[in-house]
Amino acid sequence: MRLPIIAHRLYIAKFDETMAASVRENSLDEDNRRFIPDEVFETVEDARKAVSALIAFYAQKDAPQVYPVILRDGRHIGHVQAYPIKNGWEIGYHVAKPFTGNGYATEAVSAFLPRIMEQLGLTQIFALCHAENRASRRVLTKCGFSLAYEGMGAYHGKEEFICRYEYRPSKLEKMDAFFNARAEIYDSHMLGDLKLEGFYKAITACFDTPVNHLLDLGCGTGLELVGLFEKYPHMQVTGVDVSSIMLEQLRAKFPGRSLRLICDSYLEVDFGGSFDGVLSTYSLHHFSEKEKLALYRKIHAALQGEGIFVFGDYTVSTIEGQQEALDASRRKRQEQGVAEGECYHLDIPLTPETELRLIRAAGFAETQIVRQWENASLIIARKSGSFR
């Protein structure tokens, strides 16, 4: 395997003989004693023997492959590993207590997964953890593992309440195909499962003066237009979406309304017209900062002087979360040979602050985060003038 594997805040390398002291130190925390007692090394000598064995395993087929996780400042904080089981390979990891709570395990496992799977020629990999190890379960879920079994089972030589997970990288889908395939169930997913009615009400409330001509980017089935058409029945809407079936649903939902629907990518198409409002909900979180900046410039140019742009979308609350999503999307593109810029269904949520920076850089005079939920934000940007 090509090493080191470089992630955002850490890297994964090979063990060497000098690491016995930090291996011992990292092994002594409470979680290790409770969940993986056979990986606790009370003395440096014990740790040294373990490190020598791990180094020897690197040259062996079908032997555990264990790699230290090291922060960019050189601190050794834990390890990731793959070890053979009866029907395949299992992944494992440990981040020492002083370093937990920072997302390092998720970052290390997500960087390690594609590389070790490629190295071992695997299409799936498993993970096992104690059912009470909530932190470990969260890491697996965040890394895309799904729960395959929960119940009694063998765990480090004892019968315990365990969880078995499995991971199979899903095939990336082209954006239009993704939404065409889900158009039928889309509204019930958004309103029934995700309970986003309040979000769409907040979108309607952003438009406090009549809108004559609205441009809706990634309009889908038009959930965001329901409240707006009630408020402004004579509004003309230009909707742009790559999914023809989502657009069919939209057209069927609003008989008699003034609609111009364009089945194309808003990154490519000329908006042709002058709008007093531009809206985009839950559509822009699939694109890079570079693509967004170009799009925000286009939106700015398409707006009349007093026009507003309303952004309502999936966002993350930290820069680390943003970087993780970006790294994961790059890795997926790489794994599946999809070039940057090709329109595939991949999530790259940014922080609301990054969105503000891009919207301002596109020339908007005023920007405001008007609502923020745990994983979504609502931003209003005004081309010129001031907020009332």
Using CA atoms, how far residue 157 sits from 35, 153, 160, 295, 351, in Å, is 12, 10, 9, 57, 45
Q: In whole angstroms, give the CA distance from residue 299 to residue 359.
A: 10
Q: Which of 44, 343, 365, 370 binds ligand SAM (CB under 6 A)?
A: 343
- By CB under 6 A, residue 107 contacts ligand SAM: no
- Residue placing its CB nearer to ligand SAM in the complex, 78 or 218: 218
Choice between 288 and 323, CB closer to ligand SAM: 288
Minimum distance from residue 207 beta carbon to ligand SAM (Å)? 15
SS3 track for 312-326: EEECCCCHHHHHHHH
Peptide bond into 4 cis (omega under 30): yes
Interface residue with ligand SAM among 281, 322, 329, 367 (CB under 6 A) is 281
Interacting residue with ligand SAM among 82, 108, 143, 223 (CB under 6 A): 223
Instruction: Find residue 242's DSSP bridge partners.
Output: none
Please tell me whether residue 293 binds ligand SAM under the rule CB under 6 A. no
**How far does the chain reach from its first CA to its final CA, in angstroms?**
59
329 binds ligand SAM per the rule CB under 6 A: no
Is residue 246 a contact residue for ligand SAM (CB under 6 A)? yes
Contact flag: residue 225 with ligand SAM (CB under 6 A): no
> According to CB under 6 A, which residues from 139 to 198 bind ligand SAM?
175, 179, 190
Residue 239 beta carbon to ligand SAM: minimum distance, rounded to whole angstroms: 9
Q: Which of 51, 54, 219, 310 binds ligand SAM (CB under 6 A)?
A: 219
Is residue 229 a contact point for ligand SAM (CB under 6 A)?
A: no
Smallest CA-to-CA distance from 381 within 300, 284, 304, 273 is with 300
**What does DSSP say about strands 158-167 and 146-155: parallel, antiparallel, or unpaired?**
antiparallel
Q: Which stretch binds ligand SAM (CB under 6 A): 27-35, 112-120, 132-140, 234-242?
A: 234-242
* Close Cβ partners of 186 (under 8 Å, ≥ 6 residues apart): 179, 220, 221, 246, 249
Q: How far apart are CA 54 and CA 63, in angstroms?
A: 9
218 is a contact residue toward ligand SAM (CB under 6 A): yes
Tell me the DSSP string of 109-145.
HHHHHHHHHHHHT-S-EEEEEETT-HHHHHHHHHTT-
By Cβ distance, which residue is nearest to ligand SAM? 220
**CB nearer ligand SAM, residue 137 or residue 286:** 286
- Selected from 27, 106, 283, 315, the binder of ligand SAM by CB under 6 A is 283
As a whole number of angstroms, the distance between CA 55 and CA 351 comes to 41
Q: Name which of 136 and 243 has its Cβ closer to ligand SAM.
A: 243
Q: How many helices (H) and strands (E) does the chain have?
A: 12, 15
- How many Å apart are CA 279 and CA 285, to the nearest integer? 14
Query: Looking at 102, 236, 265, 288, which residue binds ligand SAM (CB under 6 A)?
Result: 265
Is 224 near ligand SAM (CB under 6 A)?
yes
| Residues at the contact surface with ligand SAM, assessed by CB under 6 A | 175, 179, 190, 218-220, 223-224, 240-243, 246, 265-267, 281-283, 286, 343
